[in-house]
Amino acid sequence: MNLQTRVYATTAGCPDRAAAVALMRAIGQRLREIAARRPGLGWQAIAFADAQDIEDFDVDTELTNRATSGRLPALNVNLSFDLDLAPAGDPEIEALLEEFQLLHVATLPDDD
């Protein structure tokens, strides 16, 4: 398996815990629909509102702080692509990222 993971984060639409969780659910539903049609797509969306959430979900704040500047609540979205099945990226995913103002913070393996 040849995986590439892209990490995104945002504080847009996350004024409080309830809004961040609602946003996480909305994004999750859209990603489930896309994943059903797109081979090799894996995803994870995590809403975190405080330091305990970050610890509970083991969120890499070094990455997410690139988009959030440490502001909470925030949303972290990880997308993984099995490059043996399909190339990374997708127009529907790009539209979702733009719509929800998710900022790209890293590509793993490292995109340098």
Domains and CATH numbers, the chain: 3-108 (3.30.70)
pLDDT of res. 61 = 87
* Per-residue pLDDT tens digits for 20-50: 999 999 999 999 999 999 999 999 999 999 9
| Three-state DSSP string of the chain | CCEEEEEEEECCCCCCHHHHHHHHHHHHHHHHHHHHHCCCEEEEEEEECCHHHHHHHCCCHHHHHHHHCCCCCEEEEEEEEECCCCCCCCHHHHHHHHHCCCEEEEEECCCC
pLDDT of res. 111 = 52
pLDDT of res. 59 = 85
* Per-residue pLDDT tens digits for 62-81: 888 999 999 999 999 999 99
Q: What is the mean pLDDT of residues 90-104?
A: 96
